[in-house]
Amino acid sequence: MNINELTDTAKTLVAGGKGLLAMDESNPTCHKRFAALEIPQTPELRRAWRELIITTPQLGSCISGAILFDETIRDRLKDGTPFVKATTDAGIIPGIKVDAGTRELAGHPGEKITEGLDGLRDRLLEYAQMGARFAKWRAVITLVDQLPSIGCLEADAHALARYAALCQEAGLVPVVEPEVLMEGAHTLEQCEEVTERVLRVVFEQLSNQRVLLEGMILKPNMVLPGLACPQQEVAEEVAEATVRCLLRVVPAAVPGIAFLSGGQPDELASARLNAMNVRFKGRLPWEVTFSFSRAIQQPALDSWRGQAASVVAAQKVLLHRARCNRAAHRGEYQTEGGLEVPLAEDGDRAA
Ligand code: 13P
């Protein structure tokens, strides 16, 4: 493990107002999103969509790192350029999703465990040789009735910590993603209580596995009421609950927190991230940024719909969301009467 390299990469991933772009959907998930828009679910269109994303002009001014899927890191653009080269040429650090997805956890009805530790050491070495500099592993936590159970939390946290230690051994920065799902009717308070509990177990396990906190990124959920909860707090209240929770459990040595979007509407995700950076400006020990998939990709996918003629228009939509989220990381995202205030054309200024 090269401590300086890990620390530098982790810091760079969250610096300059930038954030991460998750484009690591597995093929079934990618196909689900395509099917909803009647886009044919073919390898050619998967590649075309990922090429559209990574070749978006100026994307690197907002996005520090892109999380790729195994198929993509081995793939090439239509002109033969390897995806990894296209990513680095765009000024974006290539990352890789390394978990193997979730399965039912034995003995725990309704709960999932993330798989993929077997053979991980060798896979990480291969990805590092291909040019990946960071990795992602996602654990999903269900918040319903008496769940999550301690058995599930400990199993997921242990796997996250084993993964993180293996990543650092291979010179990759681990993005540690414990996601409390938004599905359900739970309140903001219940989400805060469970998120705090989850993160305590995760950091205990990270410590047990001797993970270097300075060389990792935490990718948590925001603290939110469930999708079916009648009471939906405003962005400022979400920001308050989320940051209060994180301040209690995330050590200051961690350089950055990069939220997943979890299915939030894209503008709301930006507004909530912005509220955290406005309200707590100068008072946070870590950078607070984004690592969104749907909240960056979805409007562009809606615009593209698999049509070659729509590539340029979709890239503009994608860049717009990336800029909005960069603005939110800087606490400069603005809305008026529920509508986004257009960003200045110099939205690309260096931080
Ligand atoms: P969403 O932003 O769509 O939740 O995806 C983030 C992610 O990387 C999930 O693992």
160-212 per-position pLDDT tens digit: 999 999 999 999 999 999 999 999 999 999 999 999 999 999 999 999 999 99
Active site residue 5: no
Active site residue 85: no
Q: Quick one: 210 exposed, middle or buried, by C-beta within 10 A (0-12, 13-18, 19+)?
A: exposed
Q: List the one residue out of 83, 165, 95, 106 whose CA is nearest residue 135.
A: 95
CA-to-CA distance for 192 and 58, rounded, in angstroms? 36
The sign of the CA dihedral 212, 213, 214, 215 is: positive
CA-to-CA distance for 253 and 248, rounded, in angstroms? 13
| Nearest ligand 1 atom, CA 138 | 10
- Number of domains into which the chain is organized: 1
351 within a domain of the structure (yes/no)? no
Residues of the chain with pLDDT under 50: 350-351
Give pLDDT, residue 1: 72
Give pLDDT, residue 337: 73
Query: Per the residue annotation, which of 219, 233, 240, 287 is the catalytic one?
Result: 219
58 within a domain of the structure (yes/no)? yes
Give pLDDT, residue 335: 83
349 within a domain of the structure (yes/no)? no
Give pLDDT, residue 139: 98
Q: Is the pTM of this model over 0.85?
A: yes
348 within a domain of the structure (yes/no)? no
Query: Per the residue annotation, which of 177, 179, 192, 240 is the catalytic one?
Result: 177
Pocket test for ligand 1, best of 293, 296, 297 (most atoms within 8 A of CB): 293
51 within a domain of the structure (yes/no)? yes
216 within a domain of the structure (yes/no)? yes
135 within a domain of the structure (yes/no)? yes
Give residue-wise pLDDT tens across range 261-270. 999 999 999 9
Give pLDDT, residue 98: 98
Q: List the one residue out of 99, 98, 68 whose CA is nearest residue 84.
A: 68
CATH of the domain at 257: 3.20.20.70
In single-letter form, the type of residue at position 317 comes to V
Give pLDDT, residue 351: 41
In single-letter form, the type of residue at position 14 comes to V
The three-point CA angle 5-328-332 to 5° equals 115
Give the range of the structural domain holding residue 331, as residue numbers without chain letter.
3-340
Residue ID of nearest Cα to ligand 1 atom 5: 293
In single-letter form, the type of residue at position 291 comes to S
